[in-house]
Structure 1
Amino acid sequence: MLVSRQTTVHPVAAPPLQVELADAPPPGVWMNSPQGSAGTIGGVGLRLLQALSAAASIAVMASTGVFPSFSAFSYLIAAASLQCLWSLAPAFVYIYALLVKRSLLNLRAMFIFSVGDWITGTLTLSAACASAGVTIVIDNDRKICAGNLCARFMTAIGMAFISWFALAPSFLFNFVLVVTTFASLLAP
């Protein structure tokens, strides 16, 4: 039995080395998330600022003791309570995403964050504006502010406005990401 033996060896080209970066995002995930958007340290900071200023607004307004007499002040307490709860929930989600190094940049999560920010932002801004109007009427027109009562009202209203100003960038970042993601899905 004759067996043929190959005496020449042809070199095989090795595949090129692929250097994997430790911080490279998985395919389909944006490289750079803007600070303040979902799942970033800036986003956590904005959410905590929203929650803390809403909680301060609640505490200062509740310390007056006369807030149930005015429906706008009761509305401010309710809106700030909702704002505080809403801001803490995404803050915990963002912190968890940062700890496990996962991205929150998917359409469903961004849509939920955008709608929640839109609703709570609208409620907080309207409550702060209504309370500011009532405070102006009480202080300037009626002159019935005793002691530093109006100063406490103004402090609570100011904290509600700070909460809204911290909410606005969160909403805008998430809304822009929703719109661009949705537009890229519809593009041919």
Structure 2
Amino acid sequence: MFASRPAVHPVEAPPPTDPVEQPTGVLMKDLPGMPGTAGGLGLRVAQFVFAGVALAVMASTSDFPSVTAFCYLVAATIMQCLWSFSLAIVDIYALLVKRCLRNRRAVCLFAIGDGITAALTFGAACSSAGITVLIDNDLNICAENHCGSFKTATALAFMSWFALTPSFLLNFWSMAAR
């Protein structure tokens, strides 16, 4: 009446020992631009360089402290430089010791930090662009100010944000996929 039935237990195939037999392709965890990859390091270096040059150009003008938006841009690019430089050091370490940076806490920290710095950098670049347009087009007092430097610093801040956006999206996607 209660006869036992045979149970099927799946047996995993052993991994191939020959490296030629390994399946080709990129695993989803190893997307370029993720933390601990060469693409991620490249994005961090680009973020650092663009933010650093924007900071240097804006700080080279004598009248940036008189406008709050430009002070905000300087503060945001300082934070962007510090964040990108520190994560570039972490990426270099991970590449040298071949360590994976995809544990839950690290990815969560990277995603939150990238989100905060992306919001600050984008807000600062937008506010600086608005003030630059006001000075140049509406008030026509560009001859009295350093409009070229303001425009350059604003454009570089946007470029830093463009380099930061893929890092944020990849980290956020990786965090949400877990």
Same fold, judged at TM 0.5 (above): yes
TM-score relative to the length of structure 1: 0.80
Match of 1:19 in 2: 17
Of residues 59, 62, 65, the one that matches 2:62 is 65
Instruction: Spell out the pairing of 1:84-163 with structure 2 (5 A cutoff).
Output: 84-146=81-143, 149-163=146-160
Q: Distance in 2 between matches of 1:59 and 1:123?
A: 18
Unaligned runs of 5+ in 1: 1-15, 25-29, 182-188
Between Structure 1 and Structure 2, how many residues are aligned? 159
Distance 1:132 1:106, change over 3 A: same
- Per the TM alignment, residue 54 of structure 1 is displaced from its structure 2 partner at its CA by 0.2
* CA shift digits 1:55-110 (9 cap, x unpaired): 00000011111100100000000000000100011111011001001111111100
TM-score relative to the length of structure 2: 0.84
Q: Distance in 2 between matches of 1:162 and 1:18?
A: 45
Q: What secondary structure is seen at the aligned counterpart in 2 of 1:36?
A: coil
More helix by share: 2
Unaligned runs of 5+ in 2: 1-13
Tell me the C-alpha RMSD between the 2 structures. 1.9
Identity of aligned residues (%): 53
| Residue 39 in structure 1 maps to residue 30 in structure 2 | no
Larger Rg: 1
